[in-house]
Structure 1
Amino acid sequence: MNLSDSQTGGPVPRRVSAMEAVLTHLRDAIERGDHAVGDKLPSEAELCRRLEVSRPVLREALRALQAMGLTVSRTGKGTFVVAATVQDPTFGDYTAGDLLEVRRHVELPVAGYAAVRRTSEDLDRLTRLLDRMERETDTTAWVAMDTVFHIAVAEASQNPVFRRVIEEIRDALARQSAFLNELGGRREQSDREHRAILEALADGSEHDAVDAMAHHLDRVETTLASILRPERADTPTKGRPES
Protein backbone atom coordinates (compact mmCIF):
# COMPACT_ATOMS: atom_id res chain seq x y z
CA MET A 1 0.00 0.00 0.00
CA ASN A 2 1.55 3.31 -1.09
CA LEU A 3 0.33 6.25 0.97
CA SER A 4 2.91 8.83 -0.08
CA ASP A 5 1.26 10.11 -3.26
CA SER A 6 1.07 13.63 -1.86
CA GLN A 7 2.51 15.66 0.98
CA THR A 8 0.96 16.37 4.34
CA GLY A 9 -0.06 20.00 4.58
CA GLY A 10 -0.15 20.59 0.80
CA PRO A 11 -2.90 22.48 -1.01
CA VAL A 12 -4.62 19.26 -2.06
CA PRO A 13 -5.70 16.89 0.76
CA ARG A 14 -3.89 13.56 0.68
CA ARG A 15 -6.08 10.56 -0.07
CA VAL A 16 -6.99 8.71 3.11
CA SER A 17 -6.24 5.00 2.93
CA ALA A 18 -8.42 2.22 4.29
CA MET A 19 -5.90 1.66 7.08
CA GLU A 20 -5.98 5.34 8.09
CA ALA A 21 -9.79 5.29 8.11
CA VAL A 22 -9.80 2.22 10.38
CA LEU A 23 -7.14 3.76 12.62
CA THR A 24 -9.12 6.99 12.96
CA HIS A 25 -12.29 5.06 13.78
CA LEU A 26 -10.60 2.98 16.49
CA ARG A 27 -8.62 5.90 17.89
CA ASP A 28 -11.74 8.05 18.13
CA ALA A 29 -13.61 5.21 19.89
CA ILE A 30 -10.82 4.91 22.47
CA GLU A 31 -10.58 8.67 23.03
CA ARG A 32 -14.38 8.92 23.43
CA GLY A 33 -14.28 6.18 26.04
CA ASP A 34 -16.20 3.61 23.98
CA HIS A 35 -13.24 1.35 24.74
CA ALA A 36 -11.95 2.28 28.19
CA VAL A 37 -8.49 1.67 29.61
CA GLY A 38 -8.27 -2.01 30.48
CA ASP A 39 -10.88 -3.05 27.94
CA LYS A 40 -10.15 -5.69 25.35
CA LEU A 41 -10.90 -4.68 21.77
CA PRO A 42 -13.21 -6.94 19.76
CA SER A 43 -11.47 -9.79 17.96
CA GLU A 44 -9.84 -9.22 14.59
CA ALA A 45 -12.56 -11.25 12.91
CA GLU A 46 -15.27 -9.14 14.55
CA LEU A 47 -13.59 -5.83 13.70
CA CYS A 48 -13.07 -6.92 10.09
CA ARG A 49 -16.75 -7.80 9.87
CA ARG A 50 -17.92 -4.53 11.45
CA LEU A 51 -15.65 -2.28 9.45
CA GLU A 52 -15.76 -4.31 6.23
CA VAL A 53 -12.02 -4.36 5.75
CA SER A 54 -9.46 -7.08 5.16
CA ARG A 55 -7.39 -8.53 7.98
CA PRO A 56 -4.09 -7.05 6.67
CA VAL A 57 -5.65 -3.55 6.69
CA LEU A 58 -6.93 -4.06 10.23
CA ARG A 59 -3.59 -5.37 11.48
CA GLU A 60 -1.78 -2.31 10.08
CA ALA A 61 -4.19 -0.10 12.02
CA LEU A 62 -3.73 -2.13 15.20
CA ARG A 63 0.05 -1.84 14.89
CA ALA A 64 -0.31 1.93 14.54
CA LEU A 65 -2.51 2.08 17.64
CA GLN A 66 0.15 0.19 19.57
CA ALA A 67 2.91 2.50 18.28
CA MET A 68 0.83 5.44 19.51
CA GLY A 69 0.76 3.87 22.95
CA LEU A 70 -3.01 3.44 23.04
CA THR A 71 -3.06 -0.36 23.03
CA VAL A 72 -0.92 -3.39 23.72
CA SER A 73 -1.16 -6.78 22.06
CA ARG A 74 -0.94 -9.82 24.32
CA THR A 75 -0.20 -13.09 22.59
CA GLY A 76 -3.13 -15.45 22.71
CA LYS A 77 -5.29 -12.94 24.60
CA GLY A 78 -5.93 -10.08 22.19
CA THR A 79 -5.49 -6.32 22.08
CA PHE A 80 -6.10 -4.23 25.20
CA VAL A 81 -6.50 -0.47 25.68
CA VAL A 82 -3.76 0.94 27.93
CA ALA A 83 -4.22 4.71 27.46
CA ALA A 84 -7.09 7.04 26.64
CA THR A 85 -5.00 9.63 24.79
CA VAL A 86 -1.85 9.61 22.70
CA GLN A 87 1.25 10.67 24.60
CA ASP A 88 4.61 9.79 23.04
CA PRO A 89 4.60 6.90 20.55
CA THR A 90 7.21 4.17 20.85
CA PHE A 91 9.29 2.82 18.00
CA GLY A 92 11.01 -0.35 19.08
CA ASP A 93 12.85 0.38 22.32
CA TYR A 94 12.63 4.18 22.13
CA THR A 95 9.95 6.85 22.32
CA ALA A 96 9.60 9.33 19.48
CA GLY A 97 10.63 12.19 21.76
CA ASP A 98 13.80 10.47 22.95
CA LEU A 99 14.64 9.42 19.41
CA LEU A 100 14.29 12.90 17.97
CA GLU A 101 16.28 14.47 20.81
CA VAL A 102 19.20 12.13 20.20
CA ARG A 103 18.99 12.52 16.44
CA ARG A 104 19.36 16.29 16.74
CA HIS A 105 22.43 15.92 18.94
CA VAL A 106 24.01 13.30 16.69
CA GLU A 107 22.91 13.80 13.10
CA LEU A 108 23.43 17.56 12.91
CA PRO A 109 27.17 17.37 13.72
CA VAL A 110 27.39 14.19 11.63
CA ALA A 111 26.15 16.12 8.59
CA GLY A 112 28.63 18.90 9.24
CA TYR A 113 31.59 16.54 9.58
CA ALA A 114 30.47 14.57 6.53
CA ALA A 115 30.44 17.73 4.42
CA VAL A 116 34.12 18.40 5.08
CA ARG A 117 35.36 14.81 5.31
CA ARG A 118 33.35 12.87 2.71
CA THR A 119 35.22 11.09 -0.06
CA SER A 120 34.21 10.72 -3.70
CA GLU A 121 33.29 7.11 -2.88
CA ASP A 122 30.94 8.33 -0.13
CA LEU A 123 29.24 10.71 -2.55
CA ASP A 124 28.93 8.00 -5.21
CA ARG A 125 27.33 5.62 -2.73
CA LEU A 126 24.89 8.22 -1.43
CA THR A 127 23.98 9.32 -4.96
CA ARG A 128 23.28 5.76 -6.12
CA LEU A 129 21.25 5.08 -2.99
CA LEU A 130 19.15 8.23 -3.31
CA ASP A 131 18.57 7.59 -7.01
CA ARG A 132 17.19 4.16 -6.09
CA MET A 133 15.02 5.62 -3.33
CA GLU A 134 13.49 8.15 -5.71
CA ARG A 135 12.57 5.35 -8.15
CA GLU A 136 11.38 2.86 -5.54
CA THR A 137 7.66 2.11 -5.47
CA ASP A 138 7.61 -0.37 -2.59
CA THR A 139 7.29 1.40 0.77
CA THR A 140 8.97 -1.40 2.74
CA ALA A 141 12.02 -1.32 0.47
CA TRP A 142 12.13 2.47 0.64
CA VAL A 143 12.06 2.45 4.45
CA ALA A 144 15.01 0.05 4.51
CA MET A 145 16.99 2.37 2.23
CA ASP A 146 16.00 5.38 4.33
CA THR A 147 17.87 3.97 7.31
CA VAL A 148 20.82 3.02 5.11
CA PHE A 149 20.99 6.62 3.87
CA HIS A 150 21.41 7.97 7.39
CA ILE A 151 24.00 5.32 8.20
CA ALA A 152 25.89 6.21 5.00
CA VAL A 153 25.96 9.89 6.00
CA ALA A 154 27.39 8.84 9.36
CA GLU A 155 30.02 6.76 7.56
CA ALA A 156 30.95 9.82 5.48
CA SER A 157 31.80 11.65 8.72
CA GLN A 158 34.77 9.24 9.01
CA ASN A 159 34.01 8.69 12.70
CA PRO A 160 33.06 5.07 13.47
CA VAL A 161 31.42 6.08 16.75
CA PHE A 162 28.79 8.08 14.87
CA ARG A 163 28.03 5.09 12.68
CA ARG A 164 27.71 2.87 15.76
CA VAL A 165 25.21 5.28 17.33
CA ILE A 166 23.03 5.36 14.20
CA GLU A 167 23.26 1.58 13.93
CA GLU A 168 22.03 1.30 17.53
CA ILE A 169 18.82 3.18 16.69
CA ARG A 170 18.44 1.64 13.23
CA ASP A 171 15.38 -0.45 14.07
CA ALA A 172 13.66 2.51 15.74
CA LEU A 173 14.43 4.72 12.73
CA ALA A 174 12.90 2.16 10.39
CA ARG A 175 9.77 1.81 12.52
CA GLN A 176 9.37 5.58 12.74
CA SER A 177 9.95 5.96 8.99
CA ALA A 178 7.29 3.35 8.22
CA PHE A 179 4.88 5.05 10.64
CA LEU A 180 5.40 8.49 9.09
CA ASN A 181 5.06 7.16 5.56
CA GLU A 182 1.96 5.14 6.33
CA LEU A 183 0.15 7.96 8.13
CA GLY A 184 1.88 11.12 6.94
CA GLY A 185 2.72 10.58 3.28
CA ARG A 186 6.31 11.59 3.96
CA ARG A 187 8.20 9.74 1.24
CA GLU A 188 8.38 12.26 -1.61
CA GLN A 189 9.07 15.11 0.78
CA SER A 190 11.74 13.05 2.51
CA ASP A 191 13.39 12.29 -0.84
CA ARG A 192 13.69 16.02 -1.50
CA GLU A 193 15.13 16.61 1.96
CA HIS A 194 17.65 13.81 1.45
CA ARG A 195 18.60 15.33 -1.92
CA ALA A 196 19.27 18.68 -0.23
CA ILE A 197 21.51 16.95 2.32
CA LEU A 198 23.42 15.19 -0.44
CA GLU A 199 23.87 18.41 -2.42
CA ALA A 200 25.29 20.14 0.66
CA LEU A 201 27.72 17.26 1.20
CA ALA A 202 28.78 17.41 -2.45
CA ASP A 203 29.37 21.17 -2.14
CA GLY A 204 31.47 20.58 0.97
CA SER A 205 29.42 23.13 2.91
CA GLU A 206 29.31 22.32 6.61
CA HIS A 207 26.79 25.07 7.28
CA ASP A 208 24.42 24.00 4.49
CA ALA A 209 24.69 20.33 5.47
CA VAL A 210 23.75 21.06 9.08
CA ASP A 211 20.87 23.28 7.92
CA ALA A 212 19.60 20.61 5.50
CA MET A 213 19.68 17.92 8.18
CA ALA A 214 17.98 20.25 10.68
CA HIS A 215 15.22 20.96 8.17
CA HIS A 216 14.78 17.21 7.60
CA LEU A 217 14.40 16.55 11.33
CA ASP A 218 12.09 19.54 11.72
CA ARG A 219 9.79 18.07 9.06
CA VAL A 220 9.87 14.68 10.78
CA GLU A 221 8.79 16.34 14.02
CA THR A 222 6.07 18.40 12.32
CA THR A 223 4.61 15.40 10.51
CA LEU A 224 4.68 13.32 13.66
CA ALA A 225 2.84 16.07 15.54
CA SER A 226 0.19 16.30 12.82
CA ILE A 227 -0.45 12.55 13.11
CA LEU A 228 -0.63 12.54 16.90
CA ARG A 229 -2.74 15.71 17.14
CA PRO A 230 -4.81 15.72 13.94
CA GLU A 231 -7.26 18.47 13.11
CA ARG A 232 -10.70 16.92 13.40
CA ALA A 233 -13.22 17.67 10.68
CA ASP A 234 -16.41 19.48 11.70
CA THR A 235 -18.57 16.78 10.16
CA PRO A 236 -18.05 13.03 10.38
CA THR A 237 -16.92 11.09 7.32
CA LYS A 238 -19.78 9.22 5.72
CA GLY A 239 -19.63 5.55 4.92
CA ARG A 240 -17.37 2.76 6.00
CA PRO A 241 -13.63 2.53 5.22
CA GLU A 242 -12.95 0.71 2.00
CA SER A 243 -10.93 -2.47 2.00
Structure 2
Amino acid sequence: MFQPVGGPKGTRLYEKVVMQIKSAISVGDLKPGDKLPSERELAEIFGVSRTSIREALKSLVAMGLIKIRHGDGIYVCESRGEEQLKNIGAYLMSHQGTLKDLFEIRRVLETEAAAWAAERGAPEKVQELVNLINTVKEGIAKRSGGYLLFLGEHDTKFHLCLAEASENQVLLRVMNNLLDLLAESRARAWSIPGRPLRSVEEHAKIVEAIVSGDVEGAREAMRQHLENVEKEIL
Protein backbone atom coordinates (compact mmCIF):
# COMPACT_ATOMS: atom_id res chain seq x y z
CA MET A 1 0.00 0.00 0.00
CA PHE A 2 2.77 2.43 0.95
CA GLN A 3 6.11 3.09 -0.71
CA PRO A 4 9.32 4.78 0.50
CA VAL A 5 8.77 8.47 -0.09
CA GLY A 6 9.83 10.21 -3.24
CA GLY A 7 8.17 12.91 -5.25
CA PRO A 8 8.54 16.51 -6.38
CA LYS A 9 11.82 18.15 -5.53
CA GLY A 10 11.42 20.55 -2.65
CA THR A 11 8.47 18.73 -1.10
CA ARG A 12 9.04 18.12 2.58
CA LEU A 13 9.24 14.47 3.62
CA TYR A 14 6.29 14.59 5.97
CA GLU A 15 4.13 16.06 3.17
CA LYS A 16 4.89 13.03 1.01
CA VAL A 17 3.82 10.75 3.85
CA VAL A 18 0.60 12.75 4.27
CA MET A 19 -0.16 12.44 0.54
CA GLN A 20 0.24 8.65 0.56
CA ILE A 21 -1.92 8.11 3.64
CA LYS A 22 -4.59 10.53 2.37
CA SER A 23 -4.62 8.72 -0.96
CA ALA A 24 -5.01 5.33 0.74
CA ILE A 25 -8.00 6.68 2.70
CA SER A 26 -9.62 8.35 -0.31
CA VAL A 27 -9.46 5.23 -2.53
CA GLY A 28 -10.63 2.93 0.24
CA ASP A 29 -7.41 1.01 0.88
CA LEU A 30 -7.74 2.33 4.42
CA LYS A 31 -11.30 2.26 5.74
CA PRO A 32 -12.92 3.98 8.74
CA GLY A 33 -11.80 2.24 11.91
CA ASP A 34 -8.74 0.62 10.33
CA LYS A 35 -5.61 0.63 12.46
CA LEU A 36 -2.42 2.01 10.92
CA PRO A 37 1.06 0.66 11.63
CA SER A 38 2.84 2.11 14.64
CA GLU A 39 4.91 5.29 14.42
CA ARG A 40 8.11 3.21 14.35
CA GLU A 41 6.75 0.89 11.66
CA LEU A 42 5.58 3.83 9.53
CA ALA A 43 9.06 5.36 9.75
CA GLU A 44 10.52 2.09 8.45
CA ILE A 45 7.90 1.72 5.70
CA PHE A 46 8.34 5.26 4.37
CA GLY A 47 12.08 5.38 4.98
CA VAL A 48 11.93 8.60 7.00
CA SER A 49 12.64 9.67 10.56
CA ARG A 50 10.09 9.35 13.32
CA THR A 51 10.09 13.15 13.50
CA SER A 52 8.76 13.28 9.93
CA ILE A 53 6.13 10.67 10.79
CA ARG A 54 5.01 12.69 13.82
CA GLU A 55 4.62 15.81 11.64
CA ALA A 56 2.60 13.83 9.09
CA LEU A 57 0.35 12.34 11.76
CA LYS A 58 -0.16 15.77 13.32
CA SER A 59 -1.38 17.14 9.98
CA LEU A 60 -3.67 14.16 9.36
CA VAL A 61 -5.19 14.52 12.83
CA ALA A 62 -5.79 18.24 12.20
CA MET A 63 -7.59 17.36 8.97
CA GLY A 64 -9.81 14.91 10.82
CA LEU A 65 -8.59 11.91 8.84
CA ILE A 66 -7.00 9.92 11.66
CA LYS A 67 -7.07 9.78 15.44
CA ILE A 68 -4.35 8.67 17.83
CA ARG A 69 -5.34 6.64 20.87
CA HIS A 70 -2.37 6.83 23.19
CA GLY A 71 -1.37 3.39 24.36
CA ASP A 72 -3.56 1.81 21.69
CA GLY A 73 -2.64 3.00 18.20
CA ILE A 74 -3.45 5.12 15.16
CA TYR A 75 -6.87 4.73 13.55
CA VAL A 76 -8.69 6.06 10.48
CA CYS A 77 -11.52 8.30 11.65
CA GLU A 78 -15.10 7.17 11.35
CA SER A 79 -16.18 10.72 10.46
CA ARG A 80 -16.88 11.58 6.84
CA GLY A 81 -18.31 14.32 4.67
CA GLU A 82 -19.19 17.56 6.42
CA GLU A 83 -17.38 16.66 9.64
CA GLN A 84 -14.10 16.33 7.76
CA LEU A 85 -14.76 19.53 5.82
CA LYS A 86 -15.19 21.37 9.13
CA ASN A 87 -11.88 19.99 10.35
CA ILE A 88 -10.12 20.94 7.12
CA GLY A 89 -11.58 24.44 7.34
CA ALA A 90 -10.29 24.85 10.89
CA TYR A 91 -6.90 23.52 9.80
CA LEU A 92 -6.69 26.03 6.96
CA MET A 93 -7.43 28.96 9.24
CA SER A 94 -4.73 27.99 11.74
CA HIS A 95 -2.07 26.64 9.34
CA GLN A 96 -1.64 28.65 6.17
CA GLY A 97 1.16 26.32 5.13
CA THR A 98 2.84 26.40 1.77
CA LEU A 99 1.23 27.23 -1.54
CA LYS A 100 1.60 23.59 -2.51
CA ASP A 101 -0.35 22.59 0.62
CA LEU A 102 -3.20 24.89 -0.38
CA PHE A 103 -3.36 23.56 -3.93
CA GLU A 104 -3.44 20.04 -2.55
CA ILE A 105 -6.49 20.95 -0.48
CA ARG A 106 -8.09 22.62 -3.51
CA ARG A 107 -7.71 19.42 -5.51
CA VAL A 108 -9.48 17.50 -2.77
CA LEU A 109 -12.33 19.97 -2.31
CA GLU A 110 -12.96 21.57 -5.69
CA THR A 111 -12.82 18.42 -7.79
CA GLU A 112 -15.57 17.00 -5.58
CA ALA A 113 -17.47 20.29 -5.66
CA ALA A 114 -17.56 20.07 -9.47
CA ALA A 115 -18.66 16.44 -9.31
CA TRP A 116 -21.40 17.21 -6.77
CA ALA A 117 -22.64 20.13 -8.87
CA ALA A 118 -22.94 17.81 -11.88
CA GLU A 119 -24.66 15.14 -9.81
CA ARG A 120 -27.10 17.15 -7.72
CA GLY A 121 -26.77 20.86 -8.46
CA ALA A 122 -30.08 22.73 -8.41
CA PRO A 123 -31.04 23.90 -11.93
CA GLU A 124 -31.00 27.56 -10.90
CA LYS A 125 -27.49 27.23 -9.44
CA VAL A 126 -26.20 25.49 -12.55
CA GLN A 127 -27.79 28.23 -14.66
CA GLU A 128 -25.92 30.83 -12.59
CA LEU A 129 -22.67 29.15 -13.63
CA VAL A 130 -23.74 29.22 -17.28
CA ASN A 131 -24.70 32.90 -17.00
CA LEU A 132 -21.38 33.70 -15.36
CA ILE A 133 -19.43 32.11 -18.21
CA ASN A 134 -21.55 33.94 -20.81
CA THR A 135 -21.11 37.26 -18.99
CA VAL A 136 -17.33 36.99 -18.83
CA LYS A 137 -17.05 35.99 -22.49
CA GLU A 138 -19.20 38.96 -23.50
CA GLY A 139 -17.11 41.22 -21.27
CA ILE A 140 -13.89 40.05 -22.91
CA ALA A 141 -15.35 40.60 -26.39
CA LYS A 142 -16.19 44.21 -25.51
CA ARG A 143 -12.70 44.97 -24.21
CA SER A 144 -9.51 45.37 -26.20
CA GLY A 145 -7.45 44.94 -23.04
CA GLY A 146 -7.24 45.99 -19.42
CA TYR A 147 -9.54 43.24 -18.22
CA LEU A 148 -7.39 41.69 -15.48
CA LEU A 149 -9.51 43.13 -12.66
CA PHE A 150 -12.67 42.04 -14.46
CA LEU A 151 -11.35 38.48 -14.87
CA GLY A 152 -10.12 38.40 -11.29
CA GLU A 153 -13.62 39.18 -10.07
CA HIS A 154 -14.99 36.51 -12.39
CA ASP A 155 -12.56 33.94 -11.00
CA THR A 156 -13.71 34.55 -7.43
CA LYS A 157 -17.38 34.46 -8.40
CA PHE A 158 -16.91 31.27 -10.39
CA HIS A 159 -15.32 29.26 -7.60
CA LEU A 160 -17.84 30.45 -5.00
CA CYS A 161 -20.76 29.87 -7.36
CA LEU A 162 -19.47 26.36 -7.99
CA ALA A 163 -19.30 25.73 -4.23
CA GLU A 164 -22.93 26.87 -3.95
CA ALA A 165 -23.95 24.55 -6.80
CA SER A 166 -22.39 21.62 -4.91
CA GLU A 167 -25.28 21.97 -2.43
CA ASN A 168 -22.90 21.68 0.53
CA GLN A 169 -22.98 24.70 2.83
CA VAL A 170 -19.92 23.62 4.82
CA LEU A 171 -17.91 23.42 1.60
CA LEU A 172 -19.02 26.94 0.72
CA ARG A 173 -17.72 28.28 4.04
CA VAL A 174 -14.44 26.41 3.64
CA MET A 175 -14.00 27.76 0.10
CA ASN A 176 -14.49 31.32 1.32
CA ASN A 177 -11.62 30.80 3.77
CA LEU A 178 -9.47 29.03 1.20
CA LEU A 179 -9.86 31.73 -1.45
CA ASP A 180 -8.81 34.33 1.12
CA LEU A 181 -5.64 32.35 1.85
CA LEU A 182 -4.94 32.06 -1.88
CA ALA A 183 -5.43 35.76 -2.67
CA GLU A 184 -1.74 36.42 -3.28
CA SER A 185 -1.17 33.37 -5.49
CA ARG A 186 -4.33 34.04 -7.50
CA ALA A 187 -3.17 37.60 -8.15
CA ARG A 188 0.14 36.14 -9.32
CA ALA A 189 -1.70 33.78 -11.69
CA TRP A 190 -3.66 36.65 -13.25
CA SER A 191 -0.38 38.41 -14.07
CA ILE A 192 0.90 35.43 -16.10
CA PRO A 193 0.43 36.23 -19.82
CA GLY A 194 -2.54 34.29 -21.17
CA ARG A 195 -3.44 32.59 -17.87
CA PRO A 196 -6.64 34.60 -17.16
CA LEU A 197 -8.08 33.77 -20.59
CA ARG A 198 -7.01 30.14 -20.28
CA SER A 199 -8.79 29.99 -16.92
CA VAL A 200 -11.99 31.26 -18.53
CA GLU A 201 -11.83 28.51 -21.16
CA GLU A 202 -11.11 25.89 -18.50
CA HIS A 203 -14.02 27.18 -16.41
CA ALA A 204 -16.26 26.83 -19.47
CA LYS A 205 -15.26 23.16 -19.86
CA ILE A 206 -16.09 22.51 -16.21
CA VAL A 207 -19.51 24.12 -16.59
CA GLU A 208 -20.17 22.20 -19.81
CA ALA A 209 -19.62 18.92 -17.96
CA ILE A 210 -21.82 20.06 -15.06
CA VAL A 211 -24.67 21.06 -17.37
CA SER A 212 -24.57 17.66 -19.08
CA GLY A 213 -24.55 15.88 -15.71
CA ASP A 214 -21.16 14.33 -16.43
CA VAL A 215 -19.88 13.72 -12.90
CA GLU A 216 -16.50 12.25 -13.85
CA GLY A 217 -16.05 14.78 -16.65
CA ALA A 218 -16.66 17.68 -14.25
CA ARG A 219 -14.25 16.22 -11.71
CA GLU A 220 -11.55 15.70 -14.34
CA ALA A 221 -12.03 19.16 -15.90
CA MET A 222 -11.58 20.79 -12.50
CA ARG A 223 -8.57 18.63 -11.69
CA GLN A 224 -6.94 19.62 -14.98
CA HIS A 225 -7.70 23.31 -14.39
CA LEU A 226 -6.12 23.31 -10.93
CA GLU A 227 -3.14 21.33 -12.17
CA ASN A 228 -2.56 23.81 -15.00
CA VAL A 229 -2.71 26.82 -12.69
CA GLU A 230 -0.44 25.19 -10.12
CA LYS A 231 2.19 24.36 -12.76
CA GLU A 232 2.29 27.95 -13.96
CA ILE A 233 2.53 29.45 -10.48
CA LEU A 234 4.99 27.10 -8.78
| TM-score range normalised by the length of the shorter chain | 0.5 to 0.7
TM-score, reference length from structure 1: 0.51
Please list, as runs of the form range in 1=range in 2, the aligned pairs for 1:223-242 lying within 5 A after superposition: 223-225=232-234
Pick from 100, 114, 119 the counterpart of residue 116 of structure 1.
119
How far the C-alpha of 1:188 sits from its partner, in A, is: 1.3
Amino acid at match of 1:99: L
Alpha-carbon distance in structure 2 between the residues aligned to 1:178 and 1:98 = 18
Alpha-carbon distance in structure 2 between the residues aligned to 1:202 and 1:192 = 15
Please list, as runs of the form range in 1=range in 2, the aligned pairs for 1:188-199 lying within 5 A after superposition: 188-199=197-208
User: Which has the larger share of helix?
Assistant: 2
Alpha-carbon distance in structure 1 between the residues aligned to 2:111 and 2:179 = 17
Query: Match of 2:167, SS?
Result: coil
Contact 2:185 2:233 in 1 (8 A): no
Amino acid at match of 2:185: Q
How far the C-alpha of 1:184 sits from its partner, in A, is: 4.3
Contact 2:117 2:126 in 1 (8 A): no
How far the C-alpha of 1:158 sits from its partner, in A, is: 0.5
How far the C-alpha of 1:115 sits from its partner, in A, is: 0.5
Q: State how many pairs are aligned.
A: 133
Match status 1:182 vs 2:191? yes
Amino acid at match of 2:129: L
Match status 1:170 vs 2:179? yes
Match status 1:105 vs 2:108? yes
Contact 1:184 1:223 in 2 (8 A): no
Amino acid at match of 1:157: S
> Structure 1: which 5+ residue stretches go unaligned?
1-92, 226-243
Alpha-carbon distance in structure 2 between the residues aligned to 1:133 and 1:172 = 24
Partner of 2:93: none
Contact 1:146 1:174 in 2 (8 A): no
Partner of 1:154: 163
Alpha-carbon distance in structure 1 between the residues aligned to 2:136 and 2:99 = 24
The CA deviation string for residues 144-201 of structure 1, in whole angstroms up to 9 with x for no partner, is 2201101111111111011011011222344322211213430111111000000000
TM-score, reference length from structure 2: 0.53
Amino acid at match of 1:209: A
How far the C-alpha of 1:94 sits from its partner, in A, is: 5.3
Query: Match of 1:164, SS?
Result: helix
Alpha-carbon distance in structure 2 between the residues aligned to 1:167 and 1:199 = 24
Partner of 1:17: none
Alpha-carbon distance in structure 2 between the residues aligned to 1:122 and 1:94 = 32
Query: Match of 1:183, SS?
Result: coil
Stretch deviating more after TM superposition (134-143 or 122-131):
134-143
Alpha-carbon distance in structure 2 between the residues aligned to 1:182 and 1:160 = 31
Partner of 2:152: 143
Identity score, percent: 35
Partner of 1:55: none
Q: Give the superposed CA RMSD.
A: 1.6
Match status 1:208 vs 2:217? yes
Name the structure, 1 or 2, with higher relative contact order (CA <8 Å, separation 6+).
1
